[in-house]
Amino acid sequence: MKKAMILGLAAVFALCVIGNVFAQSDAEKECVAKCTEAAGMITKDGQDAAVAEINKKDGKFVKGDIYVFLMDMSGVMLAHPMSPNLIGKNLLELKDKEGKEFFKEFIALAKEKGSGWVDYMWPKPGEEAPSKKSSYILKVEGKDLLVGAGIYK
């Protein structure tokens, strides 16, 4: 009886863990897809059109806690739907609560690899306390720009 109960609980736990992994995978895929779409819009329709769309809180580059932001390679935020106060500011020296200069990491990753993930601490929309976040960064082809979108963990 105890053995069956332990096996049953283990199975439920395993299903919960597997479900969480797949859900996170979907969120990661969403970040990659949104960044790819935003980079494509910049290339096709121009930076001004993309900035206008990215800055919309209810636009196509926002889905729940996932949103796209746009920066240039010098560290200036060009578009951010959740924190418009960051637009126009150079964020290279900004550090998260653990001292990580994650904007510098975004730029280094974009320049060196073209795309990838960076982990850091950042407040969820509407909150002040930072949470663990992982952002997908993608260099815009032929431009000194990068787009990013992240998931809270």
What are 36-73's pLDDT values in tens digits? 999 999 999 999 999 999 999 999 999 998 999 999 99
pLDDT of residue 24: 52
pLDDT of residue 125: 80
Query: Going by DSSP bridges, is the β-strand pair 66-72/62-63 parallel, antiparallel, or unpaired?
Result: antiparallel
pLDDT of residue 103: 98
pLDDT of residue 78: 99
Q: Of 20-24, 60-64, 142-146, 148-152, where does mean pLDDT reach its minimum? A: 20-24
Domain 2-152 sits in CATH at 3.30.450.20
Q: Per-residue pLDDT averaged across 118-145, rounded?
A: 95
State pTM to two decimals: 0.82
Position 2 pLDDT exceeds 80: no
Residue pair 73/112 in contact (Cβ under 8 Å)? The answer is: no
pLDDT of residue 124: 87
